[in-house]
Amino acid sequence: MEHDSQLKLYAAVAARLKEAHTTVRALQVPESVRKALIRKLLVVTAAAKHDLPDAARRLERLMKDLDEGRFPEGD
């Protein structure tokens, strides 16, 4: 039963990551900001391999920031 919930969470995180990449790609921001966002998405992807619930939380936080127009500083 727990395995099924892990699979569902994995599928949800994967779908949300795909959506996040699409969102970042469409943003009209400087390239340095886009790179910073992509790095954040890569960190979430790496975290998903070790701690899926934490990765889901990180991704939701990042998406909330994007929705509210809060972007990281560029290089």
Q: Quote the tokens at residue 16.
A: 């949300």
Tell me the pTM: 0.84
Q: What does the chain come to in residues?
A: 75
DSSP H or E stretch at residue 45? helix 31-48
Each residue's pLDDT tens digit, 4-57: 888 899 999 999 999 999 999 999 999 999 999 999 999 999 999 999 999 999
Rounded CA-CA distance 47/53 in Å is 9
End-to-end CA distance of the chain: 45
Rounded CA-CA distance 54/50 in Å is 9
